[in-house]
Each structure stands twice: as structure tokens, then as C-alpha cells.
Structure 1
Amino acid sequence: MKITLTINGTDITFEPTKLAYNSYINDITMNDKIAPATNFLRRTVVADDKEKLNEILEKHVGAALQIIEKIIKQFVPDLEIEIKN
């Protein structure tokens, strides 16, 4: 699955995988959310867009968390879950 985001007018494409997603979730801790998000983005961005991603991550504080939120919403579908008594 490819996900293309337009970030500040720049198109950047990501190819998230189940392995990359699981690694991201496993790496998150109470004290570290930025590094796992940044690693996920750098692992899943297409080769042609790596420089564009790095530029955005360097210039904008909090960019990794904003970007990953959009990718996760597309990659991980919401499940309809009900509790039965």
C-alpha cells in the first residue's frame, strides 16, 4: 500500500508495512515517541522522497508525529468492536 501526503506543498510517498508498523508500536515508550515515529517514517518513505522528508523533519518541530498520525489513520483501519454481555 502506498500513501502519498502533501506536506507544505510537497508530495511525499510512504509504503508502510505490517513489520514497520509493529516495530514502531513496540519501540514507543512513555519517554520516547519522536525517535520511533522518525524511524518509521524513514523506513517507509520511498527512496525518491527521502531528501524531501529529511528536510521537513529538520525544519519543523513535531513534524514526525503529525505525519505519522496521517499515515497510521490510512494504514490501520478502524475496527467495529462491541462488548457482549
Structure 2
Amino acid sequence: MILGRVVGTVVATRKDERLLSAKLLVVRPVSPEGQLEGTPLVAVDTVDAGTGEMVLVVSGSSARMADGLGQSPVDAAIVGIVDTVSMS
């Protein structure tokens, strides 16, 4: 699972028919403190996240198990919007 921040959107007018209703967002991994790090990735949004929000992203075969994605050709999916992160 990846902790990330939504930094943008992707508009694709032509795409696989199984992604026709999918919202695609650009997510950049973040540290638990919220500092941007790593390479941005494109993820299918399953929770109606917005730009600037901290999110949870699953990747690989787990992404296809996210709500409504079934047999979609997806490698990353946003499955949660993070309210707080607490570390001890």
C-alpha cells in the first residue's frame, strides 16, 4: 500500500472500454509526515478523491480488486482518503 498525495488529473479521450467511467488521478508518494517523495503514478480513483488530498493507493493485482474494477486493466487504484497519520 502506498501513501500519496493527489497532484493532478489525467484526461484520456481514447482508452480501453473497461476504463470509460474511470477517473484517473496523478498521485505522488509521500512520507508519513506528508513530504513528497518518489515518482508520480497514475491511479484509478474509486473514492472520489480530489487534488491535494492524501490517499491510500494499492498496486498490482490488488488494484483490480478495488470496488468496480473487476477485469479492468489497472495497475494502481486509490482506495482511501487519509484523514490523519499518527506515528509513535
Q: Which has the higher helix share?
A: 1
Indicate whether the TM-score tops 0.5. no
| TM-score, length of structure 1 as denominator length | 0.26
Q: Which has the higher strand share?
A: 2
| TM-score, length of structure 2 as denominator length | 0.25
